[in-house]
Amino acid sequence: MKHWRALLILISIVILACLPLFGDEYFVNLASQALIAVIFASSLNLLVGYAGLTSLGHACFLGLAAYLSAWLGLNLGLEHSVTAPMALTLTTLIGMVFGWIALRATGLGFLMLTLALSQIVWGLAYRWVSVTNGDNGLSGLTRPSPFGIDLEISSHFFWFTLIVTLGCLGLIRQLVQSAFGASIKGTRDQPRRMTALGYNVWAIRWFTYVAAAFFGAVAGLLYVYFHKYIHPSVMAITMSAESLLCVIAGGSGTLLGPVFGAILVVILKNYASAYIERWNMLLGFVFLFIVIFLPKGIVSSNLNFLKSKVGKKS
């Protein structure tokens, strides 16, 4: 079954990579947005699915990386080769501090602390006009040109985003399937037993939080490159909640769950909204259906179904 799943994933990647050759620019841009959402949802899944820590403030890392990259380029005139690593580093450092604060609590307390921290950042983005330009946001941005490749061309940007997405998913897979990944799941399932065995539960959770912040920052860079504009609304609670829905819909604690969940949300937002005025209501009905009939998410529920069928045949 694992070989079939690997083969299906490989075929899906090949088909996706060929999309710009046959699809028009609208679908190529839609796919780029979906890939960015996949990275963002997968980063949150590290916390929600593997560490058992539900966050409602994850969008602040996406917004911080985007704003830092934009501000460094616009005000200091730095190249993308400099602004990108600086934005990732600074956002990860902020994630270290935020993790130290938020992990003073667990459960509902952790959720509320993440929400409070993100609201502080969101408020600063609106009020610190001299830096963020307030409600007008930062515009006039450009896309990088790695190795001389012009990412202003939609197909080039899509392929670039696809490579980054596959790289991030590969790193996340290595992390969660490593011995350290097993300890992350252990802190989720049996924190007291992990402590008794000599593991530092707080440190494991803190590292997971920082890793999630880093991958969220990667999504933030791609987000600002795609839109070439950044606004404080990207750090609002709705953005964090939307990513959380992606994780829950696809299946938390799985590698492919956030992928399917993010694709579903992006399609409903960008495609269904062109035909249905109340697309938010449609999104609500879809998630209501998933919660009732697929409580473990699209991926987890279908995997359990396939395993049960295989078990019966054997």
Q: Is the pLDDT of residue 92 over 90?
A: yes
pLDDT tens-digit series, residues 181-210? 999 999 999 999 999 999 999 999 999 999
Least Cα distance to 5 among 286, 255, 288 occurs for: 255
Q: What is the separation, in whole angstroms, between the first and last Cα of the chain?
A: 13
pLDDT surpassing 50 at residue 305: no
> What is the structure's pLDDT at 304?
53
Q: Which region among 35-44, 88-97, 273-282 has the lowest average model confidence (pLDDT)?
A: 273-282
Q: Can you tell me the distance from the alpha carbon of 227 to that of 230, in angstroms, rounded to the nearest whole number?
A: 7
pLDDT digits (tens, 9 = 90+) for 14-57: 888 888 888 788 889 999 999 999 999 999 999 999 999 999 99
**What would the pLDDT profile of 151-170 be if each residue is shown by its tens digit?**
999 999 999 999 999 999 99
On the question of pLDDT at 307 being above 60, the answer is no
SS (H, E, C) 151-194: CCCHHHHHHHHHHHHHHHHHHHHHHHCCHHHHHHHHHHHCHHHH
Long-range CB contacts for residues 305-313, cutoff 8 Å, separation at least 24: 306/1, 310/1
Q: What is the mean pLDDT of the chain?
A: 88
Q: Is the pLDDT at 260 greater than 70, yes or no?
A: yes
- Confidence check: pLDDT of 229 > 60: yes
Whether the CB-CB separation of 62 and 235 falls below 8 Å is answered with yes
Q: Is the pLDDT of residue 112 over 70?
A: yes
Question: For position 300, what pLDDT does the model report?
Answer: 63
Q: Average pLDDT, stretch 126-140?
A: 91
